[in-house]
């Protein structure tokens, strides 16, 4: 008979699962481990067994039997059907009160569905977003668990033991019920896409516009990393740009195909935002930019057809050749990056605010910003400011109204506008810089051309419009005498 001795178990020992198991064991947990092919379990125990207390299991039955009650198992298998299958298999072997945790990048609506089904069987189901990649899983990730308060009582201390720590605070908090954790992780990934894209746009402006070499650009990012833009993504950007390809001796960046991949979380963020009618233009443009990059047929046809446009270097020659002008344009790019990044976060937080309303969660925005300060991919210095903006239950509506960010964008905007204008003249695509600026201008416009759209809608479809001078809905008899009628 297997003795129940492990306070936590991990199913699925590929890169992320193995790293998370080791992190758990290193922090005093006794970790039951199971993998469909036992060889992976053996490798983990052989290579890292001395790092803590592991209880290897050959079968799922043995795995469940080795867990103390309430049995708590973290699933780290492939998203989709394999996850559903594993949840079912575990639920069959577990008892009411036990906890199943899905720590993959699941779609939050799947998590809501799974939680409901598992709850009906008397067990707890926790959809838990985990960010930080393999290194994060091993050394301290940022974690976003959903599920019941009761499951958090057992799971909370375990997750706190392995999370990244910032100022002594663990980067994990109970996000909310059912799919809340995976929803917040999805938005995290959406912001990650936008953040990566604005960094890429900055690089492109320096490379193709100013004609700078990767090494010189790496140094710029290193410098930026010392200030307001201090973040993991800026830091790794410098690392990628410094790297030389061993086979060719060329800058690594030049030997990588320029087609960005994606696994779908950014797309979910945009699809969800469309359903919620929340504009997340920065994230949307970042997803579409990856899509455009990965359309080889279209791009090669464009090259064949020789689509005409300006040559960036020629148009930006004045900046490239004058050291002072170049320096000041690089500073403009830094400001444009900062402002666009603020817009992307503002939009992502709006999506979470709206999602909380629609899906019935009580999301603590300040706490979410705090757990993103460490461990996760978008960890950045300025998340402290976001957490301040939402501190003590403050709800600024948009981060752009918070005094700190309002001032930051105001300060950045002349630069931001110059960058968008110069890039557009030079023919360098800057979808997130430009759309974020348009969003900002849209927000601050006292009168938008939406009035014209209402007029058009009323003319062709009798969709009615509101008037600025009285309440109610109105329709103009466009095809008749153009008199106006008030709708009931």
Give me the active site residues, please.
Answer: 185, 192
Q: Which of 376, 419, 432, 434 binds ligand 6PG (CB under 6 A)?
A: 376
Smallest gap from residue 378 Cβ to ligand 6PG (A): 8
Residue 262 binding ligand 6PG, by CB under 6 A: yes
Question: What is the nearest approach in angstroms of ligand 6PG to the Cβ of residue 26?
Answer: 20
131 labelled ligand-binding: yes
Encoded tokens for 143? 């974690």
Give, for 181, the enclosing helix (H) or strand (E): helix 180-204
Output Rg (C-alpha) for the chain, integer angstroms.
Answer: 26
Is the separation of the CB atoms in 241 and 216 below 8 Å? no
Consult the annotation and say whether 189 binds a ligand.
yes
Nearest distance in Å: CB 476, ligand 6PG: 48
x/- site string to ligand 6PG, residues 159 to 198, per CB under 6 A? ------------------------------x--x------
Total site size for ligand 6PG, rule CB under 6 A: 13
Say if residue 326 carries a ligand binding annotation: no
CB of 270 to ligand 6PG, least distance (A): 12
Which residues 97-126 are close enough to bind ligand 6PG by CB under 6 A? Answer: 105
Whole-angstrom CA distances from 337 to 198, 199, 412, 437 are 6, 7, 9, 11
The Cα 75–Cα 99 span in angstroms is 11
CA dist., res. 461 & res. 463, Å (int): 5
The answer to whether the beta carbons of residues 234 and 199 sit under 8 Å apart is yes
As given in the structure block, the two tokens for residue 472 are 């109610």
From 23, 265, 340, 415, residue interacting with ligand 6PG (rule: CB under 6 A): 265
CA end-to-end span of the chain = 75
- Please give the torsion angle defined by the CA atoms of residues 395, 233, 129 and 436, in that order, rounded to the nearest 10 degrees: 40
Q: Which of 336, 341, 347 is nearest to 443 (CA)?
A: 347
242 annotated to bind ligand:
no
What is the torsion angle, in degrees rounded to the nearest 10, for the CA atoms of residue 444, residue 448, residue 454 and residue 455?
A: 160
Minimum CB distance to ligand 6PG smaller for 123 or for 199: 199
Binding ligand 6PG (rule: CB under 6 A), the pick from 12, 127, 132, 170 is 132
Give the SS3 label for residue 474: strand
7 binds ligand 6PG (CB under 6 A): no
CA distance 144 to 164: 12
Query: Was 188 annotated as part of a binding site?
Result: yes
* Segment lying near ligand 6PG (by CB under 6 A), choices 131-139, 152-160, 312-320, 424-432: 131-139
Selected binder of ligand 6PG within 96, 168, 261, 323 (CB under 6 A): 261
Of 20 and 409, CB closest to ligand 6PG: 20
CA distance 232 to 69: 38
Determine if residue 290 is labeled as part of a ligand binding site. yes
* 105 labeled binding residue: yes
Sequence-ordered list of residues with C-beta below 8 angstroms from that of 65, at least 6 positions apart, any chain: 1, 2, 4
Which residue, 186 or 333, has its beta carbon nearer to ligand 6PG? Answer: 186
Alpha-carbon torsion, ordered 239, 241, 245, 249, to 10 deg: -130
Q: Would you call 117 exposed, middle or buried from its count of C-beta atoms within 10 A (0-12, 13-18, 19+)?
A: middle
Rounded to whole angstroms, how far apart are CA atoms 329 and 335? 10
Among 82, 133, 211, 427, binds ligand 6PG (CB under 6 A): 133
The correct pick among 7, 19, 72, 131 for binding ligand 6PG (CB under 6 A) is: 131
According to CB under 6 A, which one of 377, 400, 409, 412 is a site residue for ligand 6PG?
Answer: 377
**Which tokens in the block code for residue 272?**
């969800």
Output 262 or 443, the one with its CB closest to ligand 6PG: 262
Residues 400-429 that bind ligand 6PG (CB under 6 A): none
Segment contacting ligand 6PG (CB under 6 A): 117-125, 130-138, 419-427, 476-484? 130-138
Residue 263 or 467 having the CB closest to ligand 6PG: 263
- Integer Cα distance of 249 and 404 in angstroms: 45
Which residue's CB atom is positioned nearest to ligand 6PG?
131
Q: What six digits make up the tokens of 486?
A: 């008030």
Helix-, strand-, coil-residue percentages of the chain, each rounded to 5 = 60, 10, 30
Pairing of the two strands 124-131 and 142-145: antiparallel
Nearer Cβ to ligand 6PG (19/265): 265
Task: Tell me how far, at minimum, the Cβ of 9 lies from ligand 6PG, in Å.
Answer: 22
Which residues are annotated as part of the binding site for substrate?
105, 131-133, 188-189, 193, 263, 290, 457, 463
Which residues are annotated as part of the binding site?
105, 131-133, 188-189, 193, 263, 290, 457, 463
Binding site for ligand 6PG (CB under 6 A): 105, 131-133, 189, 192, 261-263, 265-266, 376-377
């Amino acid at each position: 008979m297997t003795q129940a001795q492990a306070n936590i178990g991990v199913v699925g020992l590929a890169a992320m699962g193995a790293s998370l198991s080791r992190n758990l064991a290193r922090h005093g947990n006794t970790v039951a481990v199971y993998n469909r092919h036992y060889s992976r379990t053996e490798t983990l125990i052989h290579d890292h067994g001395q790092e803590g207390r592991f209880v290897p299991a050959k079968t799922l039955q043995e795995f469940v039997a080795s867990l103390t009650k309430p049995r708590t198992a973290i699933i780290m298998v492939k998203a989709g059907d394999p996850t559903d299958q594993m949840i079912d298999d575990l639920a069959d072997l577990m008892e009411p009160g036990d906890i199943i945790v899905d720590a993959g990048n699941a779609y939050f609506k799947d998590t809501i569905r799974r939680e409901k089904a598992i709850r009906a069987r008397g067990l707890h189901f926790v959809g838990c977003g985990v960010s930080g990649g393999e290194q994060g899983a091993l050394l301290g990730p940022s974690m976003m668990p959903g599920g019941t308060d009761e499951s958090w009582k057992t799971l909370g201390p375990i997750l706190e033991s392995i999370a990244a720590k910032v100022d002594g605070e663990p980067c994990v908090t109970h996000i909310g019920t059912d799919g809340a954790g995976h929803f917040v992780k999805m938005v995290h990934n959406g912001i990650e896409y936008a953040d990566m894209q604005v960094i890429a746009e900055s690089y492109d402006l320096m490379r193709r516009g100013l004609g700078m070499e990767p090494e010189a650009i790496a140094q710029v990012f290193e410098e930026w990393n010392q200030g307001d833009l201090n973040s993991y993504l800026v830091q790794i950007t410098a690392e990628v740009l410094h790297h030389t390809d061993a086979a060719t001796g060329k800058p690594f960046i030049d030997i990588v195909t320029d087609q960005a991949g994606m696994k779908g979380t950014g797309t979910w963020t945009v699809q969800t935002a469309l359903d919620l009618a929340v504009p997340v233009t920065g994230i949307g443009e970042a997803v579409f930019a990856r899509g455009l990059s990965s359309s080889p047929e279209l791009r090669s046809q464009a090259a064949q057809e020789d689509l005409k446009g300006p040559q960036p270097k020629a148009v930006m020659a004045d900046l490239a050749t004058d050291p002072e002008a170049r320096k000041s344009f690089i500073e403009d790019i830094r400001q444009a990056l900062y402002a666009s990044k603020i817009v992307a976060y503002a939009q992502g937080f709006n999506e979470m605010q709206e999602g909380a309303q629609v899906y019935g969660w009580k999301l603590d925005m300040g706490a979410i910003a705090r757990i993103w300060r460490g461990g996760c991919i978008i960890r950045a210095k300025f998340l402290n400011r976001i957490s301040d903006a939402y501190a003590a239950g403050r709800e600024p509506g948009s981060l752009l109204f918070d005094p700190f960010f309002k001032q930051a964008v105001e300060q950045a905007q002349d630069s931001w506008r110059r960058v968008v204008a110069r890039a557009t003249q030079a023919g360098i695509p800057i979808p997130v810089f430009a759309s974020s600026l348009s969003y900002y201008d849209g927000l601050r416009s006292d009168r938008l051309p939406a009035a014209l759209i209402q007029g058009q809608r009323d003319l062709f479809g009798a969709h009615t419009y509101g008037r600025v001078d009285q309440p109610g809905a109105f329709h103009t008899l466009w095809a008749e005498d153009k008199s106006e009628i008030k709708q009931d």
